[in-house]
């Protein structure tokens, strides 16, 4: 299946989250300024959600404090289990000790979006309650790289909104109810799995 499917990528924007790994494992939401959202989303993306979508075709990107981007790929046998194990991976990656499945670089959100849009057969979407309804009959190109941007517990800050507007990124919705970001990751993987079977 991996030959016929493009990369399914999530881009989580965490403007307040420290980019130096300086947070307490015992207080992820407080000291990590909601880094727990990232830990939970990673567990969903690489552990709980995929049943048939190839994990090699999943990528998770976190933009921290609009200056540091961590990219996560399939951890395979090294899969961290639970939020705290993911938090340890994030901490060591930010402190200069990446895992085989993580990488870190200094880049701002607008440059990141621009790079992704410039790569071959690449589509970027914004997950937004108020967007166009997305359902299994949505005309998605599964062979393309599809990247979905997600906000944190407060949604998107004004800078992210400005970037979204400047690049004209389409907004798509899973319904008018506001879900946890991690739920949206699971729902998108499930939707792609349903579409690939059709
Ligand atoms: C907890 S929600 C953000 C909270 C809410 N937007 C607010 O401002 O209070 C986290 C993110 O999940 C995504 N999201 C949540 N519900 C969604 C829905 N029904 N459709 C599409 N995306 C959604 C959006 O990207 C949102 O920024």
pLDDT in tens, 26-66: 999 999 999 999 999 999 999 999 999 999 999 999 999 99
Tell whether ligand 1 has an atom less than 6 A from the beta carbon of residue 15.
no
What is d(CA 190, CA 17) in angstroms, rounded to the nearest whole number? Answer: 28
At a CB cut-off of 8 Å and minimum separation 6, what does 162 contact? none
> Which CATH number is 112's domain given?
3.40.1280.10
Residues 52/195, Cβ–Cβ less than 8 Å: no
Residue with the nearest Cα to atom 5 of ligand 1? 155
In tens, the pLDDT along 89-146 reads: 999 999 999 999 999 999 999 999 999 999 999 999 999 999 999 865 567 888 899 9
Neighbours of 135 (CB within 10 A): 11
Does residue 4 carry a pLDDT above 80?
A: no
User: For residue 92, what are the domain limits?
Assistant: 8-197
Going by pLDDT thresholds of 50, 70 and 90, the confidence category of residue 198 is: low
Tell whether ligand 1 has an atom less than 6 A from the beta carbon of residue 40.
no
Residues 75/46, Cβ–Cβ less than 8 Å: yes
Structural domain includes residue 157 = yes
| Closest ligand 1 atom, residue 176 Cα | 19
Structural domain includes residue 32 = yes
Residues 18/67, Cβ–Cβ less than 8 Å: no
Tell whether ligand 1 has an atom less than 6 A from the beta carbon of residue 133.
no
Note the pLDDT of residue 138: 63
What is d(CA 144, CA 197) in angstroms, rounded to the nearest whole number? Answer: 16
Does residue 174 carry a pLDDT above 80?
A: yes
Structural domain includes residue 186 = yes
Note the pLDDT of residue 5: 85
Arithmetic mean of pLDDT, 183-188: 97
What is d(CA 116, CA 113) in angstroms, rounded to the nearest whole number? Answer: 5
**Cα angle for residues 184, 166, 115 (degrees, 5° grid):** 70
Q: Is 28 helix (H, G, I), strand (E, B) or coil?
A: helix
Structural domain includes residue 1 = no
Going by pLDDT thresholds of 50, 70 and 90, the confidence category of residue 161 is: very high
Arithmetic mean of pLDDT, 63-71: 96
Structural domain includes residue 84 = yes
Per-chain mean pLDDT for the chain: 94
Note the pLDDT of residue 1: 41
Arithmetic mean of pLDDT, 168-174: 95
Note the pLDDT of residue 91: 97
Residues 132/82, Cβ–Cβ less than 8 Å: no
The number of distinct structural domains making up the chain is 1
Tell whether ligand 1 has an atom less than 6 A from the beta carbon of residue 175.
yes
Strands 122-133 and 8-14, how do they pair?
A: unpaired
User: Which of 181, 182, 186, when mutated, tests ligand 1's pocket best, judged by the most ligand atoms within 8 Å of its CB?
Assistant: 181
Going by pLDDT thresholds of 50, 70 and 90, the confidence category of residue 2 is: very low
Structural domain includes residue 2 = no
Neighbours of 20 (CB within 10 A): 11
Structural domain includes residue 44 = yes
* Cα–ligand 1 centroid distance for 52 (angstroms): 25
């Amino acid at each position: 299946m991996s030959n016929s499917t493009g990369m399914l990528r999530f881009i989580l924007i965490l403007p307040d989250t420290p980019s130096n790994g300086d947070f307490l494992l015992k207080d992820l939401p407080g000291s990590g300024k909601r880094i727990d959202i990232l830990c939970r989303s990673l567990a969903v993306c690489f552990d709980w959600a995929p049943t048939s979508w190839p994990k090699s075709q999943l990528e998770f990107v976190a933009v921290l404090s609009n200056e540091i981007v961590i990219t996560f790929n399939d951890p395979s046998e090294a899969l961290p289990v639970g939020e705290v194990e993911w938090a340890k991976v994030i901490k060591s990656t930010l402190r200069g000790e990446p895992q085989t499945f993580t990488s870190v670089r200094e880049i701002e959100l607008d440059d990141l979006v621009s790079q992704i849009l410039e790569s071959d057969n690449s589509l970027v979407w914004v997950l937004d309650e108020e967007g166009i309804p997305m359902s299994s009959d949505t005309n998605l190109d599964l062979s393309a790289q599809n990247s979905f941007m997600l906000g944190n517990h407060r949604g998107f800050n004004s800078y992210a909104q400005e970037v979204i507007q400047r690049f004209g990124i389409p907004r798509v919705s899973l319904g008018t109810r506001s879900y946890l970001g991690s739920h949206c990751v699971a729902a998108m993987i499930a939707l792609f799995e349903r579409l690939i079977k059709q």
